[in-house]
Structure 1
Amino acid sequence: MSILQKMTGHQYRTGPKFDKAIIAVGSCENHGYHLPFGTDTFVSSMLAERVAEQVEGLLVLPPVNVGMSQHYAHFPFSLTLSPETLIAVLKDILESTVRNGIEKIFIMNGHDGNIAPIEIAARAIKLAHPRAKIATLDAWWVTAGKLLPKDTFAVWNGLGHAGEGETSIGLALFPELIQMEHAKGVVPNLPENIEIKWNFAELTNTGATGDPSKATAGKGQKMVRVLVDEVVRFIREMDGRNWQYASPESALPQG
């Protein structure tokens, strides 16, 4: 067993030793008319657990269920932490993990609004604990599109909040919570290369972007496979070099 919430103190003390931890950071917010509010937490935590099944010594921490969702607040029922609160929560969890003797931490993020708070919290912990090693999968929805063949998705390379990709991965992981008969979205007309800081209501009137009607469980299963494989590969590679990533040439001169 590698899920901390399900362990007893005896199991933790006498069971396999953990030198790494993985934490999912999600949200509770509107995901169109068809996906559950907890989609971001469900996806990130289920991916984290599947990774831990394949990586020795990887402890699954409790997920963060509410994220920074202020830009989705025009749609009910979106819960949100302020950026400052989420940064503080993440810092406290990371600090607690390091204090318990685990200095290698992987963050599996499930929501776009969490990316900046994760970055700030991780940098603060690195400053306080230089020996800590922190890695993140910031945007699985982008990474999956890069890892899969270009013809996998029908619209917008699968992108979109509650769009083709996110709905597909939901169909693969928790189909019993999805109502595909209500799936509809809007592909926004966004410029390339320059990022607009939008409120979500400026992009869609359905609570979803992209085209969730094109989603299938088969596409979602492909997404799960490549994402889990990629994270497992990364952690095993880092374990193989003791999480050292500085080139010899970058070492500071002694004396």
Structure 2
Amino acid sequence: MTWEEIGKLINSGMDSAIFPIGATEQHGPHLGCGMDAEIADRLCHAVSEITGALLMPLMPFGCSVGHSRRWPGTLSLQPKTMIDVVKELGDWAYASGIRRLFIVNSHVTNYAPLRCALEMLRADYDDMMLAVINSGSLSERVRQRHFSDADDWHANEAETALMLAVSPQMVREENVAQSDDEDRTKQCVFSHPVNRTSKNGVTGKPSLASVEQGEELFQWMVEDLSEIVRRGMQERPPLSFSYDEKIEFV
């Protein structure tokens, strides 16, 4: 869109935008390293078309430092860098007229820095509402499918099925059947990097994935995220107190 098109849409009353954030990181021997970015982009495009909300460009890099340097292909931001980048992009979105920002996150460990950026943005802009929505748990049925084969899932059945359905060029089908690896984190007290929990970068059972499963799951994700966005586009704060308003003592 041109700046004129964006301005006219905002002036007409559309103050909502969807911001897809992915990651570029190893996804085992059977999925391309851009898997997280791909699903965020595809999902948010579909939801933008349904809801009419503006779509910000995909941010393809996230906080993937936990994947270690054992496998090539990971390109990661430090958490503090990601906080600053998202905060500054949020500043510019606000300057354009966005007052409702739906940050759609497709990589689990992006959540902490994204939440920090949310805290900073809503403290700076009293009339801006923000949400961080994790694509793998945006509804109960979506969450159950993602967690069906592992709690610490990665490049698992769900992610493999999604790519088979919406981006088959990301899948090396000749490697899928041999890529299963178990979840070794169930009894762990500490949070270990992936090089100490997985032999090949996978946690879960991609061998169980099918195109049909992926098509169904993607449809659920589009439907359920569209409903969240629609609700958010109508939401008002429960109370109207200003962020900087001081309570009066008598």
Shift of 1:227: 1.4
Select the residue among 224, 236, 246 that pairs with 1:244: 236
Shift of 1:143: 3.9
- Correspondence 1:45-84 to 2 at 5 A: 45-56=41-52, 58-73=53-68, 74-84=70-80
Secondary structure of 1:156's match? Answer: coil
Q: Deviations over 1:112-169 (max 9, x none)?
A: 221100000000001001211111212x22346x31596x689526972100011111
2:185 is aligned to: 190
Shift of 1:12: 3.1
Shift of 1:15: 5.7
2:128 is aligned to: 132
- Supply the distance in 1 between the matched residues of 2:151 and 2:238 (Cα, whole angstroms): 35
Aligned CA distance change for structure 1 residues 118 and 196 (closer, same or farther; 3 Å): same
| Alignment length (residue pairs) | 239
1:4 is aligned to: none
1:26 is aligned to: 22
User: Does structure 1 conserve the Cα–Cα contact (< 8 Å) formed by 2:37 and 2:60?
Assistant: yes
Q: Which TM-score applies when normalising by structure 1?
A: 0.84
2:92 is aligned to: 96
User: Does structure 1 conserve the Cα–Cα contact (< 8 Å) formed by 2:25 and 2:64?
Assistant: yes
Gaps of 5+ in 2: none
Secondary structure of 2:40's match? Answer: helix
Secondary structure of 1:31's match? Answer: coil
Matched, 1:163 2:156: yes
Deviates more, 1:183-192 or 1:22-31: 183-192
Letter in 2 for 1:204: S
Deviates more, 1:10-19 or 1:156-165: 10-19
Runs (4+) of structure 1 exceeding 4 A deviation are: 13-17, 152-155
Aligned CA distance change for structure 1 residues 179 and 203 (closer, same or farther; 3 Å): same
1:174 is aligned to: 167
Gaps of 5+ in 1: 1-6
- Supply the distance in 2 between the matched residues of 1:154 and 1:21 (Cα, whole angstroms): 29
1:3 is aligned to: none
- Supply the distance in 2 between the matched residues of 1:209 and 1:149 (Cα, whole angstroms): 16
User: Does structure 1 conserve the Cα–Cα contact (< 8 Å) formed by 2:150 and 2:182?
Assistant: no
Aligned CA distance change for structure 1 residues 10 and 132 (closer, same or farther; 3 Å): closer
User: Does structure 2 conserve the Cα–Cα contact (< 8 Å) formed by 1:141 and 1:159?
Assistant: no
Aligned CA distance change for structure 1 residues 91 and 161 (closer, same or farther; 3 Å): same
Letter in 2 for 1:54: I
1:147 is aligned to: 141
Shift of 1:228: 1.4
Matched, 1:221 2:215: yes
Secondary structure of 2:17's match? Answer: strand
Letter in 2 for 1:172: A
Letter in 1 for 2:174: E
Letter in 1 for 2:197: L
Q: Deviations over 1:19-56 (max 9, x none)?
A: 11001111111000111111111101110110001113
Secondary structure of 2:213's match? Answer: helix
Shift of 1:190: 2.6
- Supply the distance in 2 between the matched residues of 1:198 and 1:147 (Cα, whole angstroms): 28
